[in-house]
Amino acid sequence: MLLLTPGPVQTRPETRAAMAVDIAPWDRDFGVEYIAIRERVRDLAGGVAGVHATLPLQGAGHFMVEAALRTFVPAGGRILVPCNGAYAERIIRLAREAGRNPVPMPVPDTRRVRGDEVAAALAADPTISHVGMVYSETGSGIINDPAEVGAAVRAAGRRLIVDAVSAFGALPFDLKAQPECDAVLFTSNKCIEGLPGIGFAICPMERARERAGKAGSWCFDLGDVLLHAERSGWGSFRFTPPVQALHAFGVAMDLYVAEGGQKARLARYTENMRVLRAGVERLGLRPYLDAAHQGPIILTLHQPDSPGFTLQGFVDALKRRGVLISNFFTTKTPTIRIGCIGAVTPDDMRGAVAAMGEVLAEMGVAPRVAA
């Protein structure tokens, strides 16, 4: 089966095979492996040894976002959330339920968030301490720019939290150039192409240390993750980790480096997107974003306005041809979402486009000439 879902993604056989072992997380040999993963992740984020640290947590990306909000935004504090998609709305919900005060800043979901509008919102409200942003909006496929937004946050003397879950590893990020950033977040199962199970926050250590104990949750306290590492060693865990997923993540990192790292991964995903987008346009499907705003991570398409079409029917018929896409959408109007990330190639995309053509014909959706 070819997974064209924006997480969990298609993985390489070597990565999956690494899961098939029993490991004790407190074993000394595994501790060495875990320390190496933390250092590699920090370096990949543009972090600096002794200044920044990788603070992992068991679980999904939402857990990382909640942990960062609880750790860095003071209880009752205000966080501006520029909102151009479903994942920004999730930051808002997580902040509210954690007893923080999200300040939504609506932005159309067909373009990126601009630094000048963030600057204006911060200037208008000095009580806002933080900005929470999504790097790659997996809702629509829009890419926001953390360097641009971060510059506005820095100039206003506020702090930044970046949900980079569907971006990290493919799109560039440089923590040392963004001293306003409290946390950049991602998980094992998106652009690094590992298995699901663990999330990562890369944070300035000084900030995490001073915020320890203030999260209102032991589990979600990234400051406590840091204090534990400093007390018990960087190879140690507070609670039982998904140790096989971590081990496989190490293999996925090796494959990532062997491929050529961030630039090579971005190039492959960009080509996946180019082939897919051109192919589905030839089939008469209409992208949700215009070409200038299309990111390389996820392609969102308007569902065909045809009586024969249902999303579940389309997904099921594609699955019979060996291609699996999401059976849900998060845009306000009905869409189809197709991931371009994971261990997939432009040739896989050509095959997927051919399968989609067959399915549309089977469903009686007439091909149209693309506008």
Restricting to residues 166-195, name those near ligand PLP by CB under 6 A.
Answer: 166, 187
**Which residue's CB is nearer to ligand PLP, number 8 or number 235?**
8
**DSSP secondary structure, 173-212, as one string:** --GGG-TTEEEEEEETTSTT---SSEEEEEEEHHHHHHHT
CB of 187 to ligand PLP, least distance (A): 5
**Tokens standing for 182?**
């409290």
Q: Which span (29-37, 131-139, 227-235, 268-276) binds ligand PLP, by CB under 6 A?
A: 131-139
Residue 66 interacts with ligand PLP (CB under 6 A): yes or no:
no
**Which has the closest alpha carbon to 195: 15, 17, 45?**
15
CB of 188 to ligand PLP, least distance (A): 9
CB of 28 to ligand PLP, least distance (A): 30
Among the residues of the chain, which ranges form H helices? Answer: 13-17, 28-44, 61-72, 86-97, 115-124, 146-155, 205-211, 222-232, 243-259, 261-282, 311-320, 346-362
CA distance 54 to 47: 9
CB of 136 to ligand PLP, least distance (A): 6
Query: Which residues fall within 8 angstroms of residue 280, CB to CB, at 6 or more apart?
Result: 287, 299, 301, 338, 353, 356
CA distance 335 to 324: 16
**Which residue's CB is nearer to ligand PLP, number 94 or number 153?**
94
CA distance 13 to 251: 10
CB of 211 to ligand PLP, least distance (A): 21
What SS3 class is residue 162?
Answer: strand
**Tokens standing for 195?**
């298995």
165, 181, 195, 203: which one binds ligand PLP (CB under 6 A): 165
Residue 71 interacts with ligand PLP (CB under 6 A): yes or no:
no
**Tokens standing for 111?**
């373009």
Q: Which span (13-21, 132-140, 270-278, 326-334) binds ligand PLP, by CB under 6 A?
A: 132-140
CB of 50 to ligand PLP, least distance (A): 29
CB of 87 to ligand PLP, least distance (A): 4
Chain position carrying tokens 């942990």 = 67
**Which residue's CB is nearer to ligand PLP, number 336 or number 355?**
336
Longest dimension (CA), the chain: 65
30, 87, 200, 269: which one binds ligand PLP (CB under 6 A): 87
**Which residue's CB is nearer to ligand PLP, number 30 or number 168?**
168
**Which residue's CB is nearer to ligand PLP, number 47 or number 61?**
61
Residue 197 interacts with ligand PLP (CB under 6 A): yes or no:
no
60, 122, 128, 248: which one binds ligand PLP (CB under 6 A): 60
Query: Which residues fall within 8 angstroms of residue 30, CB to CB, at 6 or more apart?
Result: 23, 24, 235, 243, 247
CB of 49 to ligand PLP, least distance (A): 27
Cα distances from 271 to residues 183, 265, 302, 347, in angstroms, run: 30, 10, 21, 10
Residue 138 interacts with ligand PLP (CB under 6 A): yes or no:
yes
Restricting to residues 264-293, name those near ligand PLP by CB under 6 A.
Answer: none
Interface with ligand PLP by CB under 6 A: which residues? 6-7, 60-62, 87, 134, 136, 138, 163, 165-166, 187
